[in-house]
Amino acid sequence: MTAFQPAAFHRFGDVAVRLSVELGRTEMPLRDVLMLGEGSTVALDRLTDELLDVTANGRVIARGEVVAEKGRFALRIVSLIGEDGQNMPPAADLAAAVAEPAVGAGDAA
């Protein structure tokens, strides 16, 4: 967990959530699918250096890159996705923004 999480989140810490990462997609004629066999290669719609979407219950929550960890595939989270579908600022920037009062806040003339 990151440092910027409301205290109420601790109640949900043991809830299991299924995360999915899609490597890519393609469309091909059924005759080509029927020809697939061991050693066949299927080209996908993603570039090798393109970040992958991490989804929870079908909703994109982060983007990451494939890495190897202890002999297994793993995913390194590169960015978190906010409610608006845009990248969220890094946790350090977000925590600093919350800690700093807004300009002019509390100023009485």
Q: Scanning the structure block, which residue is given the tokens 């979407």?
A: 53
Give just the sign of the alpha carbon dihedral 47, 23, 75, 12.
positive
State yes or no: pLDDT of 64 exceeds 60.
Answer: yes
pLDDT at 10: 76
Cβ-based burial of 62 (10 A; exposed 0-12, middle 13-18, buried ≥19) = buried
Q: Which residue has the higher pLDDT, 26 or 97?
A: 26
pLDDT at 62: 94
What average pLDDT does the structure give for the chain?
80
State yes or no: pLDDT of 100 exceeds 80.
Answer: no
The pTM assigned to this predicted structure is: 0.61
Q: Which domains does the chain have, with CATH numbers?
A: 16-22+43-101 (2.30.330.10)
Confidence band of 107 (pLDDT split at 50, 70, 90): very low
